[in-house]
Structure 1
Amino acid sequence: MNTRYVTGRRSALAAAVSVVLVLGVLAAGGNQAVAKPGDKDPGGVLGAGQGGVVGGGKLRPTKPEVPKAQPKPKEDKPIPVKDPKKPPGPSTSTTRTASLSLAAVAAAPEKVALRQLVIALDSNDFGLATWTSTLDRIGTPYDVLLAASEPLTWERLTRPDGGGRYTSILLSNNSLLHSDGAGGFVSAFDADEWNLLWQYERDYKVRQVSLYTAYGQFPEDYCLRAGTEGGVGETPMNATLTTTGRTQFDYLTTTVQVPITLSYVYRSTLAAGCAATSTVVSGTSVLGVITTSTDGRERAALTFTSNQYLLQTFLLTYGMVRWATKGVFVGERRHYLEADVDDWFNYTDHLFPDGHLESDPGFRMSGTDANSANQQQSAMRSRYPRASQFTLNVPYNGEGINRNAAALCTSLLSPDPLTSYSRCLRNNFRWINHTFSHPKMNFTTYAESLNEIQRNLTVGRQINLTVPTPILKTGEYSGLGVYHPDPTNDIDPPTDHGLLASNGEMLRAAKDAGVKYLHGNMSFPSHVPSCFNCGIWHPMEPSLMLVPDWPTNIAYHVTAPAEETLFYNSYYGPNGKFPFWPRDLTYNEIISYETDIALQHVVSGSAYAHTFHQGNLRQYASGKSLTFDWANEVARKFSLYYRVPLQTPNWQGLAAYVANRTTHFASTSAGADVVWDRTANTLTLTSPAAGGLFLNGVRATGFAAYGTDSISWVPFGANASLTLTPVPRTTA
């Protein structure tokens, strides 16, 4: 056995350590993935086998990883905002008071910047995190005004040239009420401030959205009248869309049922003769509305709470932002489903249903398994048209390739059916360099590292696999600063030493081999980017970008439902290593819960791939495997809600997108500015530094249509000044 580069059996890749799962909804400013109740470490399902010989000989199997369970924070369940006992009653006059006379005339009302203003009560306002997480995922610039402590002034709303600073106003709730300390409620805005806000909206034709809206007429009338009110727990109250709502949220299916949970709800009615149209309803109760004020301002509102972790937030807030901006904004949102199946051609440990672990030789998928994976992939595309692009990514270890196996979809007379089927089906999967023998690369030399990278490309291409040179996934994400201080300790979780503790020789070899993108792991804090869907330019080798993956709880060493169930409950059951559930779960319950986690990644717009291993593709029953049990269920759940497609770009496309998102956020931070002249219907993009921006509602060269959205990637040089033509939405 050639184990020259193997530094021991697969460590408890402690990949599992500090996993930050589920929403993975990273916010752009400091963004740490936040676990919602029930989020857990992926159970160390991240590594792969290593060692072996060319020609399909026995490869060295690996050991399971040690996970770390996540805490169970409580869902945000805000206290409902009530109508005040004695409302301050802002003036309904359109004339400015003397103290605000400078705002009497808008100097350049036809021009507004593509920037949003979030107005919340204070830093503890649940709506603040809901709005900002939504905007961070989109990648649109915004400012926050905390009404309880910050005054609203005309200078805050307008630019020095008289143009508007904001293209939308996003309220956390419609009244900004707080206790007055004497049993009543007062608004954080006084009458002058409300009138100032409304004047800005009126003069600059800027739309307003209220995330959480009570019925009544304070501080202004949304045409909502009292019905009933109360809390909704974990059992969903399903809401549907009206004709207008189906236009406003046209990326959702026309028959969608929006599950409203953990919320306080005002079930309202519409006032007769009022200029309002319902958008979201539950039976006869109105839960969403678009309305026009008596002075012509356009407003939209929802009547229930939505914190940033709830499915209803992902389904509806994007549509509210898009409506507020008329579909013209900096940023974009799409949905992705990517799956990597690591260690193809390799062996891994095999956990049996009776609990014993076989490591010699372990498990290696068969040619029949490969053929079944291809058939299951085709069946999934047909069954769920939203997932018609879905294609497995296959990080492979070339040491297990038998170059004498012909390209035949048959096991007959083949010295290695897996190699034969892989060659025969090579164009149906996307191949990724996972190193030749899967060594730990934390301390490999330059020569060892270069040999592992280049040799794997060579043997893969010798059997006609199409393998992109720029993409590298090291075994166990090794060489990137996460390892156990004791190199002989393969049991305990590794330590995240940070990217500056990466193997510089491996990085240098990767660069010299033509690599541009390295896979990282969202389990490790040092691999988590600072902005949503971004990557990390490696601080030791800035030509290399780290693009992280999502781990899963489908363990690397299981091949069938009974094995997965045993593993899962041994970790998270009441008697497990990391007790979480009050009882052991069935396989169907495990898949249901784990795909709920994955669905949250998908609906958030996360582009990162989810990680599986070759044993998870074993055909444990006709047309069935653990990987496709998971993938089919994610696609099924997504299809219940969305009518837009799931995107699955190849890894070159995925990495390029992540690089562009990283540039996008850097450009907004560096002062890139876009102003919309609504009279001329032009956008003027200026920037002091070179960069690029995603723009929605713009059909620039190479734009992409996603649903009814037009998304353009617009690169530019330093001191840029570009003129573009927007395509605003003309319907709700």
Structure 2
Amino acid sequence: MTPQPANSVPRSLKRLLPLLTLSLVLAACSQPSSMPLNQSVSGDPSASAPQDHDDHDASRHASEKGHIHEIHAALPGVPRSELPTNAKLAPGTLTVPQGTRLSAQALPSNTQTNKVALKVLILSSGPTDFGLNSAKSMLSQSGVPFDVLDATTTPLTTQSLIASDGVGKYQGIILTDAALTFQSSPNFYSSALDTSEWATLFEYEKAYKVRQLALYGAPTTVPEDYGLRIVPGTEFATGNLNVTAAGKTAFKDLTGNALPLRNAYTYATQLEAVTGVVTQPLLTDDAGRIVAATSATDGRERLILTSAQNPALLHTQILGYGLVQWLTKGVHLGEHRRFLQVDIDDWFVNGSVFDPATGGLRSEPFRLSASDALGARDQQRAIDRAYNVVNNFEYAVMFNGRGAVPSSPATCVPQLYGDQIKDALSSVSRCMAYDFDWVNHTRDHWRMDVMDLPTSTAAIVSNFTIGTQLGLQLSRKSLVTGEHSGLGYMDPTDNGNNNDGGFLQPKQDLGLGRSNPNLITAAVNSGVRYLASNRSIASQWDASCPSCGVPHPMNPNLLLIPRYPNSLGYHVTTPEEATTSYNNLYAPGGAAAYWDHAFDYAELLDVDSTQGVGHLFDGTAWPTYMHQTNLRQYAPGKSLASDWVNAVVEKYARYSTLPLNTLRWDALGAYVERHTREQKALAANAYTAIWNRTFNTVRITPAGAPVPFTLTGLWGGKVYGAYEAYPLTINSVVDIVVRTR
């Protein structure tokens, strides 16, 4: 439908948008006194990158009797000012500027409407556009290449959409909101596209059969009619999204259970009969009003959501994959897979234990017992059996051989061996040699920030030797240093004389350039290719490619694999310890007070598992790391670590049917290594991909040297969910047969 004329807003006024603040785009945001406990909290508290977690530094000196760490806890949530709780669009006052033409620009004479590049265009209303990060995030999570056009500064023309050879530049269009709304002057809301630009966009979508996704909208007749009308007075920010029968078809990965919507302004709508418009509800609120729908008109396919999106919110995370697959018709560069990777650090050594009564550490440290270790094995097996989405789950055990006794006999029933058992944990570990993925955590867990080369080498090599003596199934290309040390996050005054003692706190992020070159050399010389880093430290992950590993600048043969912390501290073994420690940080009066009350254990698990499930939905392969203290069997068949994994997977399985893969660390590193090469090649325009929909083939043309890529939709590829994908490497032009879903 052609946009409705309205008051003219000159392009020069549009260019003022970068100077406007977010408060001019949104209505004033009220800050609730508390946040719902099932609100997703896996977002970016710094607003610098959509998936960042800067962990709160609550480090302290601790007793040397136990194994001590700096505390790394996942932040409980994003700042409330960044949540779209009151993200109103002012639909009643929106105008669309009058364009210079009465209709769309004429299509060029050489149009090849059967061909489109495998790339998506995001149309944005400027740098303060609150939907832009959501659009970027969901595309990045599937590896889909995209361009962003700021409609307030750059005109949208046929040249923006159609290449010189007549091929469409984009296979899909995302509108960050349905009208590209911005506040061009006080109390004056305008569309960032004028009437002729809207007409040009619609003509392109019609001619090239390109779908349009509006991530948020308050449906009216301007700039086009979706066959929906707002139901006045029914707006809400907290409720449920119920999946219709049509929604299950569009979102092929969903179970059909209601989705939680929290802190996201939502316009409830109802159908309106409009000539030439066919609208199909996908999601409804609890009263049956529509909050998402597909709508077809004049040969165009559109999908609109009427709730605000944010990459930190659970409903956005759940819907993102299905939205991308709908937009691209299941054919796109890149792939989306999900992983359940859980690491347990410090196996074999003593750990400090938090004392809820004093807020300090107990005098006696904790070390896993044989029954604790066997319980971890049994619990991971139970998780694998309990959920259809889980595929061969096992813990990755980061072990410190200092505490092991390789000569202790291998048995899972140490009580039968009497005095032959020199160390029961070593015996059952040998018995369970193939039940976990065993990963080198260095022999002694010393900090390696300024360690010399011989000591660094010995720390790594001797631990591999101990693992071999124990008969463990080792990931031999992988390494986790104590406290992720040696990577530039450190006490800047450390002189290396006290690698196992106290340090000046808090540590500082000095960047990878301050990594210990002796560690890097020792790791590479020892056959290590994949080195764990901390996802909560800014320099230790790639904000420009959140799903990419980081080749170390001192030696690109060493790839950093980021890991997430969670809120179960390294020094807690029971629900009481975990809860009290958490409340000491985030409850009223805590060091980083965030909530309006102190949590019980169920609330802590609910909040932190929601953050954890967000990491599953984002499609990155990053592990979450915990510690051997968290595996204490505080009750029969119960440990903090397994409680957390169960809570995360139960929440995930409630909404999604996509399998969760668990890879051994060496395989994980290889996967991330290839994925990183693919994403970097894509960013460097190392090849083009053109979809010929007449023959349903995609032509890949490399620009130079052979490049790796993955194509989703490839006929006969590896099935994941409802779609097929396959990794390929080519050195010449190739046509690949695909199919839509």
State the TM bucket, normalised to the shorter chain.
Answer: 0.7 to 0.9
Matching of residues 46-65 of structure 1 within 5 Å: 61-65=66-70
- Within the alignment, does 1:134 sit opposite 2:149 as a pair? no
- Within the alignment, does 1:691 sit opposite 2:700 as a pair? no
Alpha-carbon distance between aligned partners in 2 of 1:288 and 1:406, rounded to the nearest angstrom: 61
C-alpha distance 332-24 of structure 1, shift in aligned 2 (>3 A): farther
Shift of 1:197: 1.1
C-alpha distance 388-66 of structure 1, shift in aligned 2 (>3 A): closer
1:464 to 468, 471, 496: 471
Q: Is the 8 A contact 2:246 2:282 kept in 1?
A: yes
Alpha-carbon distance between aligned partners in 2 of 1:292 and 1:331, rounded to the nearest angstrom: 28
Shift of 1:360: 6.5
Matched residue, 1:23: 42
Matched residue, 1:727: 739
- Within the alignment, does 1:423 sit opposite 2:430 as a pair? yes
- Within the alignment, does 1:171 sit opposite 2:175 as a pair? yes
C-alpha distance 232-65 of structure 1, shift in aligned 2 (>3 A): same
What secondary structure, in the 3-state scheme, does the structure 1 residue paired with 2:268 have? strand
Matching of residues 288-299 of structure 1 within 5 Å: 288-293=292-297, 295-299=298-302
Alpha-carbon distance between aligned partners in 1 of 2:157 and 2:359, rounded to the nearest angstrom: 69
2:225 to 208, 221, 224: 221
Q: Which amino acid aligns with 2:678?
A: H
Q: Which amino acid aligns with 1:221?
A: D
Q: Is the 8 A contact 1:231 1:262 kept in 2?
A: no
Q: Is the 8 A contact 1:399 1:436 kept in 2?
A: yes
Q: Is the 8 A contact 1:138 1:332 kept in 2?
A: yes
Alpha-carbon distance between aligned partners in 1 of 2:308 and 2:659, rounded to the nearest angstrom: 28
C-alpha distance 621-138 of structure 1, shift in aligned 2 (>3 A): same
Matched residue, 1:160: 164
Q: Is the 8 A contact 1:339 1:609 kept in 2?
A: yes
Q: Is the 8 A contact 2:158 2:200 kept in 1?
A: yes
Q: Is the 8 A contact 1:434 1:474 kept in 2?
A: yes
Q: Is the 8 A contact 1:229 1:265 kept in 2?
A: no
Matched residue, 1:483: 490
| TM-score for the superposition, normalised by structure 1 | 0.87
Shift of 1:491: 5.3
Shift of 1:723: 1.9
Matching of residues 196-207 of structure 1 within 5 Å: 196-207=200-211
Q: Which has the higher contact order (CA 8 A, sep 6+)?
A: 1
- Within the alignment, does 1:314 sit opposite 2:321 as a pair? no
Matched residue, 1:500: 513
Matched residue, 1:715: 729
Matched residue, 2:252: 250
Shift of 1:22: 5.2
Q: Is the 8 A contact 2:182 2:190 kept in 1?
A: yes
Alpha-carbon distance between aligned partners in 1 of 2:604 and 2:359, rounded to the nearest angstrom: 21
Identical aligned residues as a percent: 33
Alpha-carbon distance between aligned partners in 2 of 1:73 and 1:337, rounded to the nearest angstrom: 29
What secondary structure, in the 3-state scheme, does the structure 2 residue paired with 1:574 have? coil
Matched residue, 1:9: none
Matched residue, 1:405: 408
Alpha-carbon distance between aligned partners in 1 of 2:44 and 2:735, rounded to the nearest angstrom: 33
What secondary structure, in the 3-state scheme, does the structure 2 residue paired with 1:263 have? coil
Alpha-carbon distance between aligned partners in 1 of 2:321 and 2:637, rounded to the nearest angstrom: 37
Matched residue, 2:394: 391
Q: Per-residue displacement from partner, 1:79-138 (whole Å, max 9, x unpaired)?
A: 2240457766899x9x956xx34x254521111000111112222222222211222222
Aligned CA-pair RMSD: 2.9
Alpha-carbon distance between aligned partners in 2 of 1:525 and 1:259, rounded to the nearest angstrom: 29
Q: Is the 8 A contact 2:393 2:661 kept in 1?
A: yes
What secondary structure, in the 3-state scheme, does the structure 2 residue paired with 1:515 have? coil
What secondary structure, in the 3-state scheme, does the structure 2 residue paired with 1:431 have? strand
Q: Is the 8 A contact 1:24 1:601 kept in 2?
A: no
Alpha-carbon distance between aligned partners in 1 of 2:651 and 2:613, rounded to the nearest angstrom: 7
C-alpha distance 86-642 of structure 1, shift in aligned 2 (>3 A): closer
Q: Is the 8 A contact 1:237 1:261 kept in 2?
A: no
Matching of residues 6-155 of structure 1 within 5 Å: 23=42, 31=49, 33-34=51-52, 41=56, 61-66=66-71, 72-74=79-81, 75-76=83-84, 77-84=86-93, 100-101=105-106, 103=107, 105=109, 107-155=111-159
Q: Which amino acid aligns with 2:471?
A: N
Alpha-carbon distance between aligned partners in 2 of 1:262 and 1:463, rounded to the nearest angstrom: 53
**Range that drifts further, 488-497 or 671-680:** 488-497
Alpha-carbon distance between aligned partners in 2 of 1:113 and 1:432, rounded to the nearest angstrom: 42
Alpha-carbon distance between aligned partners in 2 of 1:677 and 1:337, rounded to the nearest angstrom: 36
Alignment: residue pair count: 683
C-alpha distance 208-179 of structure 1, shift in aligned 2 (>3 A): same
Shift of 1:40: 5.2
C-alpha distance 30-589 of structure 1, shift in aligned 2 (>3 A): closer
Shift of 1:461: 1.3
2:446 to 439, 447, 452: 439
Alpha-carbon distance between aligned partners in 1 of 2:177 and 2:520, rounded to the nearest angstrom: 50
C-alpha distance 226-626 of structure 1, shift in aligned 2 (>3 A): closer
Q: Is the 8 A contact 1:43 1:555 kept in 2?
A: no
**Range that drifts further, 185-194 or 343-352:** 185-194
C-alpha distance 590-269 of structure 1, shift in aligned 2 (>3 A): same
Q: Which amino acid aligns with 2:120?
A: Q
Q: Is the 8 A contact 1:89 1:218 kept in 2?
A: no
C-alpha distance 69-129 of structure 1, shift in aligned 2 (>3 A): closer
Q: Per-residue displacement from partner, 1:14-47 (whole Å, max 9, x unpaired)?
A: xxxxxxx9536799x9846445xxx8538569x9
For structure 1, list consecutive stretches of 5 or more residues without a partner in the other structure: 1-20, 51-59
C-alpha distance 205-49 of structure 1, shift in aligned 2 (>3 A): farther
Q: Is the 8 A contact 1:472 1:519 kept in 2?
A: yes
Q: Which amino acid aligns with 2:67?
A: T
C-alpha distance 186-437 of structure 1, shift in aligned 2 (>3 A): closer
Alpha-carbon distance between aligned partners in 2 of 1:86 and 1:453, rounded to the nearest angstrom: 65
Alpha-carbon distance between aligned partners in 2 of 1:386 and 1:67, rounded to the nearest angstrom: 29
Shift of 1:284: 2.6
Alpha-carbon distance between aligned partners in 2 of 1:150 and 1:668, rounded to the nearest angstrom: 24
Q: Is the 8 A contact 1:128 1:172 kept in 2?
A: yes
Alpha-carbon distance between aligned partners in 1 of 2:602 and 2:207, rounded to the nearest angstrom: 56
Matched residue, 2:556: 542
Q: Is the 8 A contact 2:135 2:176 kept in 1?
A: yes
C-alpha distance 353-129 of structure 1, shift in aligned 2 (>3 A): closer
Q: Is the 8 A contact 1:130 1:307 kept in 2?
A: yes
What secondary structure, in the 3-state scheme, does the structure 2 residue paired with 1:363 have? coil
1:627 to 641, 652, 660: 641
**Range that drifts further, 322-331 or 598-607:** 598-607
Q: Is the 8 A contact 1:87 1:185 kept in 2?
A: no
What secondary structure, in the 3-state scheme, does the structure 2 residue paired with 1:354 have? coil
Matched residue, 1:330: 333
Shift of 1:220: 2.3
Q: Which amino acid aligns with 1:352?
A: D
1:362 to 362, 365, 385: 365
Alpha-carbon distance between aligned partners in 2 of 1:178 and 1:292, rounded to the nearest angstrom: 26
C-alpha distance 595-44 of structure 1, shift in aligned 2 (>3 A): farther
C-alpha distance 693-500 of structure 1, shift in aligned 2 (>3 A): same
Shift of 1:214: 2.8
Matching of residues 546-585 of structure 1 within 5 Å: 546-585=560-599
Matched residue, 1:17: none
Alpha-carbon distance between aligned partners in 1 of 2:434 and 2:483, rounded to the nearest angstrom: 26
Alpha-carbon distance between aligned partners in 2 of 1:601 and 1:500, rounded to the nearest angstrom: 28
- Within the alignment, does 1:680 sit opposite 2:699 as a pair? no
C-alpha distance 182-645 of structure 1, shift in aligned 2 (>3 A): closer
